Amino acid sequence: MGSHRRPKQPSRARVTVLTATAAAAVALTSQAAHADPKPTKSEVKAKVDKLYHEAEVATEKANGAKEQQDKLKKQADALQDKVARGQDELNTLRGQLGSLATAQYRSGGLDPSVQLLLSSDPDSFLDQASALDQLSAKQADSLEKIQAKQRALAQQRKEAQGKLTALAEVRETLNENKKKSQGKLAAAQKLLNTLTAAERAKMAEDDRRAANRAAGERAGAGNKTSSSSSSSGEQVDLGNEVPASALGAAALQAAHTQVGKPYGRMGTGPSSYDCSGLTQWAYAQAGAQITRTTFTQINQGTRIARSQLKPGDLVFFSNTSHVGLYAGNNTVLHAPYPGTYVRYESMNTIGAYQTAVRI
């Protein structure tokens, strides 16, 4: 006789697990359907370029804070040295006053008329009294000097403390902008990591091609016709424009010798550069000291129109966050951004032109 047992029903726990699994699968499928598509290489590049720009702004602010920090530290150190020397002088004056007071005390405390009556040698006593009057005058002079020195020291200490307070604030600003720049660069790297190895290699190759110099490039800055790689790898004619001054020509020639050196955040050479670090270094080699940041370099020299550009002039882009040296024929020599090298590049591919300055 065959068995007619009823099929075993699944346990409540098993039903719950199956239901949860099915729900999770549906949720994952729904999420996958609505997930943001992976950004294209061009979208990644645009976002990375924006982050590099923001990092460069923060870097220039950090450069300014670093320059200010160095200046304040020198001033604070000088004031502290001055205070230390002043304290030594004050201690010397106090010692002199102490000697005078001791001499006065030892002269005796008797009334002068009584001392005269008791003196066996009145003439000698009168000579001593005269010396005592002179001693008192010296004492008064010493007191005046001490008071003046104390006032001067108090003022110098106040100035030194003000410099030290400002120095602490500037250091905080410097660290904040360093962190901000590092954060932007880290975000850019994270975006780059979303690309495949082949896509990243292609972008790197584009940068390498942009940094390479073509055969037969000029031997000097602004005095020969030559060509150079643009940001897209195409050749850009540097023309035959004449620098406005020997200073500009020398600065451009100095920067020319650094082509191929890597971009370095807050770099001032000679191993790496950021944009304003390169321009400052180039002009220093030419014998002119200019300030450290784009925000201050733009206020040096003479403002000129774009149509007046000559080789060696400073050209500013993107709300003063970037600077390069004009090289001729709408081309600049500059340190672009992290991962690139000092190179010639068409002004059309760098960013929004702002203004130009002739040092």
Give the catalytic positions in this structure. Answer: 275, 322, 334
259 within 8 A of 333, measured Cβ to Cβ:
yes
Cis peptide before 37 (omega within 30 of 0): no
Question: What span, in angstroms and rounded, lies between the C-alpha atoms of 213 and 261?
Answer: 12
Q: How far is CA 217 from CA 186, 344, 350, in A?
A: 36, 11, 21
Question: What span, in angstroms and rounded, lies between the C-alpha atoms of 66 and 58?
Answer: 12
Residues near 69 by beta carbon (within 8 Å), at least 6 away in sequence: 167, 170, 171, 174
Beta bridge partners, 322, equal 317
136 within 8 A of 104, measured Cβ to Cβ:
yes
Reported residue count of the chain is 359
In the chain, what is the straight-line distance between the N-terminal and C-terminal CA atoms, in Å?
Answer: 111
Question: What span, in angstroms and rounded, lies between the C-alpha atoms of 250 and 221?
Answer: 8
Q: How far is CA 50 from CA 13, 43, 108, 191, 337, in A?
A: 53, 11, 86, 12, 11
Q: Closest Cα partner for 343 from 256, 216, 266, 248? A: 256
Amino acid letter at 184?
K
